[in-house]
Chain A
Amino acid sequence: MPGPPGDPGAGWEPADDTPPWLRQRGHWRSRPRRSGPRECLPKDTGPLRRVPEDGLLGGVAAGLAARTGWDLTIIRLALVLLGLVTFGYAFVAYVLFWLLVPVAGTDRSIAARVKEDRRGIALAVGLGSMLVAVLVIVGAIGGRWVGTLGWPLIISVVGLVLIWRNSPAGEQATMRHLVEPLLGLTGGGRRRLVARLSVAGVLLIAGVSILAAVHETISVLWPLSGAALVLGAIAVALGPWWLGIARDLVAERRARIRAEERADMAARVHDSVLQTLAMIQRRADQPQQVIQLARAQERELRAWLFDGRAPGSLDELTLAAGVRQIQQEVEAQHEVSVEAVTVGDCELDDDLAALLAAAREATVNAAKWSGADVVSVFAEVEPASVAVYVRDRGRGFDPAEVPEDRKGLAESIHARMSRRGGSATVRSAPGQGTEVSLTMPRRAGERQPSRT
């Protein structure tokens, strides 16, 4: 590791002199991360792991902090200082750590993935060669200071490219967030183009004037033209290759976007259509339920395809929509049909959401325990209150000797309602079914039932 021993940033390993980038190899890799009581051991004794959630970039400093028990801020400051003292080589070390040290909870470092990413390696080599060419030319023209910072810069850039392409999705998003505004990659737009061109113009003029000032007026043309020739040679030799890489990248990006869209679509279809088809197969001998499932699925699919309403979404926040959702979910999850009727409709607030939650509980309860084929749900919106009745014609029970499981439910429904000023009553008798009546007063100022 660069950096003199005993310097503050080198504190990642006080007890063991195995270099950190070796720790995740060999027997270290198979050693599970220890999660013993932290108060006994101030530091984590497992192998070094990055903690991107706590980190600014790759979470290396956070990982070091967790490992050594030192303060995170001190480690960060030390790293920055070290970077300045070592002319940037500490940043190279940081990037190497980022590549080689796995994220906490995993055993696979980014470097392990890089081996399979041939296109990424090509890109890194291409970019590296371009930067090396620029560096050599600039060095030849005269700026010696460039050489000292240039090499660590190039190595870091190459490392970062590999990290970018192979890091876990979460880290990629973070990096994109950090880098895209800097490069102006995200939005095109004339204003940004103008800004970029003017910055480039200013830099060019400044560079040429510095060169012209340092050298004598005529003789500056010789190294300049030489540099131009070398650049031209490199461009002719490597240009098509760079272009090819760039084209590949664009194509790859498009493919990735398409793949993401397809994955999103697949997830939606899986959540809805495929689940329903699976249930239909399992219940092929019960045509009534197959019809029910097919109908519910058709409604959902239509809503998604034609109204753009995602399955299971709650963007339709009205009481009738909520009742409809209860109906669909309970029909899909339990083998009953739910006859849902609503009269009037209104916006949902917290009170009415609680009413719906209680109604859902009562409906699920009836579907599970009553043994009835049909559960009736009736909701009526009145100016001063909203009432929901959940009724089944199932086995019923004697309220005096309620089994514990049902008592618990009845009590939880009751508590839910009374917390918000509503009321719940349960009427039942053995063999006569059960009816749960729920009433919730409406808040003042919202007393206009909206009718669609």
Chain B
Amino acid sequence: MNAPSRPRVVIVDDHGLFRSGVRSELGDQVEVVGEADDVQPAIAVIGEHLPDVVLLDVHLPGGGGQLVVSALKAAHPQVRFLALSASDAPEDVIAVIRAGARGYVTKTISGADLVDAVRRVAAGDAVFSPRLAGFVLDAFAALPPADQAAPSFDPELDQLTTREREVLRLIARGYTYKEIARELTISIRTVETHVSSVLHKLQLSTRHQLTRWAAERRLI
């Protein structure tokens, strides 16, 4: 997975102030090729520029950010989405992730961390904020880890391994990938693999608990 040195980015958010704020925070680390403030303009702008990464607000006036993802996913699989949200409502975040976004960060993220997250997503990795890690742990927590062999609908997809849970727990505790690697004495690459695998399960699992959880849950 070769990350371009300066990823091309489209920013989708209905607040102009926020877009210009993000633009200035990203600075010259990335190339911002377009902006959009709603679902339809976003689909048009992204289709025109085909950026490496789309910074996508979870809440848009014309509907959730997942509409943008699902409209473009099939035609342009190379465009990757990073969800941004201020609301922290788990069901919205999970909906965007399940539509195909490669990660989720809160809008309070620092400029440097955002650049890092954009690079990671551009390179094909998943980006989990501590909060997303918490959501995922919660969603998968109802059943024991997969390697303790509980009967399940689809054990491959419906359960997290012990290692994956450990990684998610450390992310939720605020550890960086590097720190997680040191803590678990594994390579950073392995950490990334675990996270991508969790993302994969999150997107593909048909586990009804997950759907129900995402729909019913109102935590924050």
Contacts and interface: CB of A to CB of B under 8 A. Distances in A.
Q: Do A and B come from one complex?
A: yes
Interface of A: 288, 291-292, 295, 320, 324, 337, 339, 341-344, 373-374, 376, 378, 380, 389, 391, 393, 435, 451-452
B190 interface: no
B134 A341 contact: yes
B163 interface: no
A391 B172 CA distance: 10
A338 to B, nearest CB: 10
Interface in B171-188: 172-175
Contacts of B133: 341
Interface in B108-158: 108, 110, 130-131, 133-134, 137-138, 141-142
Interface of B: 86, 106, 108, 110, 130-131, 133-134, 137-138, 141-142, 169, 172-175, 217-220
B63 to A, nearest CB: 23
B130 A451 contact: no
Q: Closest 5 A-B residue pairs measured CB to CB?
A: A376-B174, A341-B134, A378-B173, A378-B172, A389-B173
A339 B131 CA distance: 8
Given A339-B131, A378-B130, A380-B137, A452 B219 contact: yes
Contact of B137 (A337, A343, A374, A376): A343
Contacts of B137: 343, 380
B130 A341 contact: yes
Given A344-B141, A389-B173, A393-B174, A295 B86 contact: yes
Contacts of B131: 339, 341
A344 B219 CA distance: 10
B134 A376 contact: no
B116 to A, nearest CB: 14
Contact of B173 (A374, A391, A451): A391
A270 B106 CA distance: 30
A435 B110 contact: no
B134 A378 contact: yes
Nearest to A342: B134
Nearest to A339: B130
A288 B220 contact: no
A378 B134 CA distance: 8
A141 B174 CA distance: 92
Nearest to A292: B108
B80 to A, nearest CB: 24
Contacts of B141: 343-344, 451
Nearest to A320: B219
A35 B130 CA distance: 60
A288 B86 CA distance: 12
A343 B132 CA distance: 11
A452 B108 contact: no
B156 to A, nearest CB: 23
A376 B108 contact: no
B134 A343 contact: yes
A376 B173 CA distance: 6
A451 B172 contact: no
Contacts of B142: 451
A269 to B, nearest CB: 24
A452 B173 CA distance: 22
Contacts of B130: 339, 341, 376, 378
B140 to A, nearest CB: 10
A452 B217 contact: yes
Given A343-B134, A380-B137, A435 B173 contact: yes
Nearest to B108: A337
5 contacts: A341-B172, A373-B110, A378-B134, A378-B169, A380-B137
Given A339-B131, A378-B173, A435-B173, 17 more contacts: A288-B108, A291-B108, A292-B108, A339-B106, A339-B130, A341-B131, A341-B133, A342-B134, A343-B141, A344-B138, A376-B173, A376-B174, A378-B130, A380-B172, A389-B174, A391-B173, A452-B219
A343 B108 CA distance: 21
B173 A343 contact: no
A342 B220 CA distance: 10
Nearest to A288: B108
Contacts of B220: 324
Contacts of A343: 134, 137-138, 141, 172
Contacts of A380: 137, 169, 172
A3 to B, nearest CB: 71
A133 B217 CA distance: 72
Contacts of A337: 108
Contacts of A389: 173-174
A384 B131 CA distance: 23
Contacts of B218: 452
B217 to A, nearest CB: 7
A339 B142 CA distance: 24
Contacts of B175: 391
A139 to B, nearest CB: 74
Contacts of B219: 320, 342, 452
Question: B141, B142, B217 — which one has the most chain A CB atoms within 10 A of its CB?
Answer: B141
A313 B204 CA distance: 41
Contacts of A378: 130, 134, 169, 172-174
Nearest to B133: A341
B21 to A, nearest CB: 8
B90 to A, nearest CB: 11
A68 B174 CA distance: 68
A435 B86 CA distance: 26
